Chain A
Amino acid sequence: MEPSDDVALDITVTNVVSVFRTRCHLNLRTIALEGVNVIYKPETGKVLMKLRKPRITASIWSSGKIICTGATSEEEAKIGARRLARCLQKLGFKVRFSDFRVVNVLAVCSMPFQIHLIQFAKNNRPIASYEPELHPAVTYRIKHLRATIQIFSTGSITITGPNVQNVASAVEQIYPLLHECQKALK
């Protein structure tokens, strides 16, 4: 979305998670029986509803809290959430759309070079953690941005953060570090 420094890297946002509240009690059974594309999970006490247009999945609790996952952008997340609220309204609940906020954004980015993970982990000792027995990627956490970056040896990285802006700045921050530890260009 946003180019970082000189190189234009494609940062693709793949998942946006958001929450909102309906400020009213919801009868899950009614939703389960009258809605299309709904799965009722009585053990955990929630209903999963899937929308097609902005492709999102929503977990609905009887207290009125709803979590939406699967959107590909922040705007889409909001639209999907509103659509969902409208749907619930039609089912007969006095729904109010309040406290909408985006909780998590997942993005994927690919570097044009490969990365030497062991060297990278050594250079960034406490912040970066590399356990090949557990996970093939290096986990790098940026505290002040509250972002986590997973770096693979092929050069592709996944970034999770609280919003798209943070994700972009995280990429900008980590690019020079990755550039240092890149493998010999072929």
Chain B
Amino acid sequence: MSSRVCQSCGCTDIDVDQARGNAVCMSCGSVLEDNIIVSEVQFVENSGGGSSAVGQFVSADGPAKAPVLGSGFHTSLGKESRAQTLQNGKRQIHNLGSQLQLNQHCLDTAFNFLKMVVSKHLTRGRKMAHVIAACLYLVCRTEGTPHMLLDLSDLLQVNVYILGKTFLLLARELCINAPAVDPCLYIPRFAHMLEFGEKTHEVSMTALRLLQRMKRDWMHTGRRPSGLCGAALLVAARMHEFRRTVKEVISVVKVCEATLRKRLTEFEDTPTSQLTIDEFMRVDLEQECDPPSYTAGQKKLKMQQLEQELAQKLDEYQGEISVYKDEIENELENSRTKLRGIYAAYAKQDLHEEFPVDTELTGSEGAEDEEVEVAAQHLTQDFVSHLVSRDTQADEETEQSESKEQLQHPEKKQVPLKSILGPLPTVASLGLSESIKECITEQEETDDKSDNGELDLEGIDEEEIEKYILNEKEVLAKTELWMVQNAEYLREQKEKEERIAKEKEMGTYKEKPRKPSKRREPIRANTAGEAIEKMLEQKKISSKINYDVLRDLNSKGSDASSPSPAEDVPVSSGRKRLTRRKKQPNKSNLGLAKPASLMGKRLRPLISSSPKKKSTSTQAVPVVTPLTLCEPPLPTPLPLVESGPVSYAEPAEEEEDEEEEPEEPCVSAIQLIGGDEYGCDAEEEEAF
């Protein structure tokens, strides 16, 4: 290969070490070149453990598109920033996507979604991170990958609901109907994380069956799918004799303990839970269950119905008891001696009063307490009867008869106390509620409807409103309290005022810090080309462009000059991020006005045709073609081309020579480009 001549000794034997990046003269040992730019492919390790090549794929569309002059130019103006946005977005997608272990196809789809989103201006006012996460989640949903929104929010440390909001909005705007989340999708992922070893597949199948059953039992509507998965996996693990505690399952599935337990109890309530393991695997129960929340509501209704029934039954029993009481009483009366006058009067009353008293008491206190209540009543009756009998010094016969007959004893002596005590609390309790109800209804009735107008004072209770306003003493007390409570805030306010006063004195006071608004002079130009030129200069779209060269270009070429800066500008900016080596040929590209611009068009189909081929080919191709043209036209545009780019072209060429041999498609591509239009083609072939 043609090598350089050593400057110090004139020797042509130069050793180029790729690994070190040195070019050293073999005779005198002087280092001719250091940090040689290599065109080898470098690999970098991913977070997932795989390795990916360093470099970027240049897409077919985007900055490399030929912009239309005139009306279409506005789109290419915004495209600079648009291209940046998309590139930035793509980078972030790859970052996040690799953390989630999504394959390339998913990432590409996500990037497509992002492009749609950006074109619909939905990124405005939203954090880019949220939008990207939403795009990724859209892809996960449409592809059916086992990724939850929770995973994304964990990675980004953002609230799930905020992400969910963005996701819903994007899905709606892009008219993408994501299929509903199926909990079955998550089972393999969680099963793997729970480490069942060889039996993972079996446990997964069992869990899937359980899930199907849960679905039919209406446990999954309105629930987070991860919770159901957790419950199914826990049961499946137990069925296969793996001891997985609730805590382990929770850490994998990301729900809280209470949720998991609730799901388990709900499943317990279904008839399927009664089957044994073998039966479950073989048999499928036909019937379906209601959703658990519905059954809970039904339970309440049932409880109320039960209570009503019990109350009815109580009444019946009470009726029976009172009948017995009557009979016994009659017999007693007949057999007993007549009592003294005071209690005889009461005796007549009690028969009528007892019934409402008892039913009220028992009805209000509920079925369960009824028996206790009745027993208590009778106990008190007995006790009181003893006391009363002692006081009145009744006959021993009556005492004995009383003590013998335990229950169902309407004792007249006891009853007066009961009748006095009994109705009192009930009447009071009932009366209170009624009076409260009356109060409320009164208040509501005083509220009238009013017409339009300033302030209609009808129906406004002045007194009540007076109550809302504190009197002076209260005001003072409250002022003190409030001052103490809000001392900090008041202090801050004072400081702020002092600061503003100072600034006013000094004359540097600003109402609010305002951003300095950029005012640009309107461009005045004669032709469209001039206007574009000036705009480009002003806006300074890219820092890599040598504007002086641009201007010279414009002066040299009339028609070709205007598209060339436009084309080269996006081309160069698009390639900004490529390796340094590529920039050099770009600069030399600029040095070739016409052929370069026309070349540019041809270059693009080249690049587009091999987007996913090895990066070597993409790197080599754009290098090869401009370089081949570099050589012949060099002598002609000497004043334009700087010596800088030219010198670098040579070593690049050397390396590219090495690469050329194995990569024959490059050569054929050149032939594609070369064709008949350029006279330098003949010279190209000669060079190789």
Task: Give chain A's interface residues, CB within 8 Å of chain B.
Answer: 32-37, 40, 42-43, 51, 53-54, 75-76, 78-79, 82-83, 85-87, 89-91, 95-98, 114, 116-118, 121-122, 125-126, 129-134, 136-137, 152-155, 183-184, 186
Contacts and interface: CB of A to CB of B under 8 A. Distances in A.
B222 to A, nearest CB: 3
Nearest to A115: B221
Contacts of B148: 133
Contact of A133 (B149, B450, B464): B149
A42 to B, nearest CB: 5
B222 A152 contact: yes
Interface of B: 148-150, 160-161, 164, 168, 171-172, 175, 177, 180-181, 218, 220-226, 288, 290-291, 293-294, 297, 443, 447-450, 453-457, 459-462, 464-470, 475, 478-479, 482, 486, 489
A152 B291 CA distance: 11
Nearest to A130: B180
Contact of A116 (B168, B221, B457, B468): B221
Contacts of B218: 114, 153, 183
A82 B479 CA distance: 27
Given A87-B468, A152-B222, A134 B478 contact: no
B464 to A, nearest CB: 7
Contacts of A137: 222
A53 B161 CA distance: 37
B455 A90 contact: no
B452 to A, nearest CB: 9
Nearest to A151: B222
A173 B457 CA distance: 40
Contact of B457 (A42, A86, A91, A154): A86
A90 B466 contact: yes
Contacts of A126: 172, 175, 177
Given A132-B222, A134-B149, A114 B455 contact: no
Given A86-B465, A97-B454, A133-B150, A53 B172 contact: no
B469 A91 contact: yes
Contact of B469 (A78, A79, A90): A90
B136 to A, nearest CB: 15
Contacts of B288: 184
B149 A79 contact: no
B450 A132 contact: no
A118 B180 contact: yes
A37 B465 CA distance: 12
Contact of A134 (B164, B171, B290): B164
B221 A117 contact: yes
8 contacts: A36-B469, A40-B482, A53-B461, A96-B454, A114-B290, A126-B172, A131-B181, A136-B223
B504 to A, nearest CB: 23
A32 B482 contact: yes
A42 B465 CA distance: 25
A68 to B, nearest CB: 15
Contacts of B294: 114, 153-155
A42 B180 contact: no
A116 to B, nearest CB: 7
A40 to B, nearest CB: 7
A96 B452 CA distance: 12
Contacts of B224: 132-133
Given A136-B222, A153-B291, A154-B291, A42 B455 contact: no
B465 A34 contact: no
A100 B384 CA distance: 68
Contact of B447 (A54, A125, A186): A54
B185 to A, nearest CB: 12
B365 to A, nearest CB: 31
A95 B456 CA distance: 12
Contacts of A83: 460, 465
9 nearest interchain CB pairs? Answer: A136-B222, A153-B221, A134-B164, A97-B455, A153-B222, A42-B489, A154-B293, A154-B294, A36-B468
Q: Which of B172, B221, B486 has the most CB of A within 10 A?
A: B221
A83 B457 CA distance: 8
A53 B464 contact: yes
A119 to B, nearest CB: 10
A122 B475 CA distance: 61
A136 B293 CA distance: 12
A55 to B, nearest CB: 11
B219 to A, nearest CB: 10
